[in-house]
Amino acid sequence: MCAFMLMYMLLATVYYMQEYQRLRKELELTDQMQYIECMKLKLEAHCHLTSRQKPNMQEVRHDLGYLLLFILLLFVPISIALSLFSIRPVQKASKMIDHFISSIVHDINTPLTTIMLNVKSLIRKAELPSQKLKYILSSSHQLLGMQHDLLALVDEKEDVLREKVALHEMIEEIVQEFRIQYEMQVFKMNIEEQIVFVNRTDIYRILQNILSNAVKYNRDNNFINITLKEKRLIIEDQGIGMKEVQRAFEQNYRENYSIEGNGLGLASVKSMTERNQINIFMQSQINEGTIVVLNFG
């Protein structure tokens, strides 16, 4: 539509200039004819040229205005109808893809749960569980988390089952897991007892994703500061920061491809915070770090 209007304005300008030049030439010719007639009648004192008269373009402007109105009334509805008609197959294909991904991810849940249950059983039965079994169990937990992230992106449901969650206990549990995995990473925690009304699985994945990014993008194992007070959670790192923080929650967006990731973590975080009615805010500066704020109240 914008291209059409631009083309119309260009053509209208060309037409207006052509009409202006044509009318001006007609005025000049008429003026010359009047001068000649006046000289023939030998009225030299009253004969003069007025070639600098400007043509009256009011009628041309009216014609162009009426033409524009006609075009808008005719083509705008047609353009809208054609746009909707052309977008419909794309929307249908997008819904089919989302449904396909959702079905596949749901189907993965059964074999994944079976693997986890069997590994846990083997670990319980073994007097000294092997490190390989622990790696399998850890990887299964990671796959389960990724499955939940994908479902958060493709599921159309907005309402989720919410319950009372002791947020401070969950933070301590997740931080303890990261301390085992990243022994050199220092976490400074200043958290109060806070009960929030959210979906337990969603908030667990939200915290895991945000803390995982804080650890991955932190520099030289600088401390990560976690503050929880009055239903407000602040996670601050001293990492490499981001140039385009406004794009952080876009799906598949990554600024640094040298660090492991798939670009889905923060996109799923955004989806899960929205359906749990949690306000999220991010601030970042290059080489200074990133601050993520979650408001639960």
Residue 94 lies in a domain: no
Range from 1-5, 52-56, 160-164 that averages highest in pLDDT: 160-164
Determine the residue type at 102.
Answer: S
Range from 30-34, 175-179, 210-214 that averages highest in pLDDT: 210-214
Of residues 98, 235, 210, 208, the one with CA closest to residue 155: 98
- pLDDT, tens digit, 9 for 90 and up, residues 111-170: 877 887 888 888 887 777 777 877 787 777 777 777 777 777 766 556 678 999 999 999
pLDDT at residue 207, as a whole number:
92
Residue 285 lies in a domain: yes
C-alpha span between 294 and 297 (Å, rounded): 9
Could you list the residue range(s) of the whole structural domain that residue 68 is in? Answer: 2-89
pLDDT at residue 171, as a whole number:
94
Q: Which residue has the higher pLDDT, 181 or 14?
A: 181
Residue 141 lies in a domain: no
pTM: 0.60
**Percent of the chain, pLDDT > 70?**
68
pLDDT band at residue 92 using 50, 70 and 90 as cut-offs:
confident
Q: What is the SS3 assignment for 227?
A: strand
* C-beta of residue 270 within 8 angstroms of C-beta of residue 153: no
Asked which of 74, 89, 104 is the last residue of a domain, the reply is 89
Q: What average pLDDT is seen over the chain? A: 78
pLDDT at residue 195, as a whole number:
93
CATH number at residue 208: 3.30.565.10
Number of domains the chain is built from = 2
Query: Do residues 68 and 169 both lie within one domain?
Result: no
- Give φ, ψ of 248 to 5 degrees: -60, -35
pLDDT, mean of residues 100-121: 75
What does the radius of gyration of the chain's CA atoms come to, in whole angstroms? 35
